[in-house]
Amino acid sequence: MALRVQKYGGTSVADIECINNVADRVQKASDQGDKVVVVLSAMSGVTDSLIGLARQASETPDKRELDVLLATGEQTTAALLAMILKSRGYKAKSFLGFQAGIKTDKTSGKARILDIDGENIQQTLEDGYIAVVAGFQGADADGAITTLGRGGSDTSAVAIASSLKADVCEIFTDVDGVYTTDPRICNNARKINKITYEEMLEMAILGAKVLQIRSVEFAKKYNVPIHVRSSFNEEEGTMVVNESSDMESVIVSGITLDMNEARITLKRVPDQPGVSAKIFTPLAKAEISVDMIIQNTRSHGETDLTFTVTKDDFERAKEISQKVAREIGAPEILTAEEIAKVSVIGLGMKSHSGVAATMFQALASENINIRLISTSEIRISCIILAKYAELAVRTLHSAFGLDQEK
Ligand code: ADP
Ligand code: ASP
Ligand code: MG
């Protein structure tokens, strides 16, 4: 008998027929004697349309009330699944985030889970029930409803799995597992059987939305085995686990694409100690996180300073930068929103050279100009023009020998 946490994403609960399919799977696990906690997303498109409604209600929706609104998407699916399971004669009970003991900080819209009091769920399982938990939500210390950021149901599931010491956290989605790149962009993408937390974390950070970043951080920290798999077939998916000796030794394991960044360049910044702090401190105070930063020194004591932020933060970052530029005497600001970040990821890069050269040559062979480059021990990222994004992904996928054999 195993304890399984099963999370189903938006497309897997898109309508009653889909929720009935979910019920079939849950029922199967339960019939095998497993204890099951189900974590659900909202029906696909619902979170977006709730955000749309909020924007109609107010240009700048109050963050607390927005969380109350967004949490209803997951409340709906949790109730529907519990109803279906009960009507089939199973013992099932739905839980909102706070009822499942999910305690978060107060950052509305992207709250972090601080602690889970799993007692309620534990007792429910011991009483022979299937627990159905609304994903993506918790409550802060004052009891206010919070949400965990887009894609946050993954994190709800991993956190619950960790608190219950579940045998596995299964993430059911609309693809068969984690692929070498987004299978919707490259039809030569290959399914990866096993991937390390470290590589999966880089992939998530760099744009592969199949798992929310925080869910992987959580799984890595608390050693929760994740199985990413399709809710539409019975295939084995991808295990996200610690590095082990039976893993394929590849230099590059995946390519990612992130279309959600924008670039800001402050031209002719005085080349003096303290100017970078003057630029980045107000951005940090505004809770804007900066991704890439490049400084090019020009002659005559001036430098150009370029950085990227997410598109959501772009307008605010631009306003702050314009203000700082005036204060420090930088005469010009350039911005670009039509950019894409392509990245090559692999643990093998720690011990192999030449990956950057192969990446740059492959992009050059398609005449794709690289605007910015950044690296870590296990990845290289390039900013290019958005219109070349998909071509770049496919080109790099072949250049690193990742294409599946046909
Ligand atoms: P869910 O609604 O189930 O949470 P998401 O849309 O959040 O699903 O994540 C699944 C999607 O992630 C896939 O449909 C796929 O397009 C995208 N994706 C991006 N990169 C990858 C990758 N490397 N492997 C698998 N899927 C990926
Ligand atoms: N419904 C939320 C979203 O669309 C959370 C999730 O699906 O994981 O982002
Ligand atoms: Mg998701």
- The string of pLDDT tens digits covering residues 114-135 is 999 999 999 999 999 999 999 9
Label residue 247 by pLDDT band (50, 70, 90): low
What ligand has the least distance to the C-alpha of 39?
2
CATH class of the domain defined by 255-399: alpha beta
Asked if residue 251 has its Cβ within 6 Å of ligand 1, the reply is no
What's the maximum distance between 2 C-alpha atoms anywhere in the chain? 79
Q: Which residues contact 141 (CB under 8 A, 6 or more apart)?
A: 103, 106
Q: Which among 51, 46, 37 is positioned nearest to 13, based on CA atoms? A: 46
Q: Which residues contact 120 (CB under 8 A, 6 or more apart)?
A: 95, 99, 100, 101
Asked if residue 181 has its Cβ within 6 Å of ligand 1, the reply is yes
- The string of pLDDT tens digits covering residues 155-207 is 999 999 999 999 999 999 999 999 999 999 999 999 999 999 999 999 999 99
**Domain regions of the chain by residue span:** 3-174, 255-399
Q: How would you classify residue 207: left for phi > 0, otherwise alpha for psi between -120 and 50, otherwise beta?
A: left
CA of 289 to the centre of ligand 1 (A): 24
CATH class of the domain defined by 3-174: alpha beta
Helix axes 355-365 and 389-399, enclosed angle (nearest 10) = 130
Nearest CA to ligand 2 atom 9: 150
What ligand has the least distance to the C-alpha of 199?
1
Asked if residues 223 and 239 have their Cβ atoms less than 8 Å apart, the reply is no
Residues with a beta carbon under 5 angstroms from ion ligand 3: 9, 151
Entry pTM: 0.93
Percent of the chain having pLDDT more than 70? 99
- The string of pLDDT tens digits covering residues 311-366 is 999 999 999 999 999 999 999 999 999 999 999 999 888 888 899 999 999 999 99
Asked if residue 135 has its Cβ within 6 Å of ligand 1, the reply is no
In the prediction, which pLDDT does 244 show?
76
Nearest CA to ligand 1 atom 17: 210
Asked if residue 259 has its Cβ within 6 Å of ligand 1, the reply is no
Mutational pocket test of ligand 1: of 150, 191, 210, the residue with most ligand atoms within 8 Å of the beta carbon: 210
CA of 154 to the centre of ligand 3 (A): 7
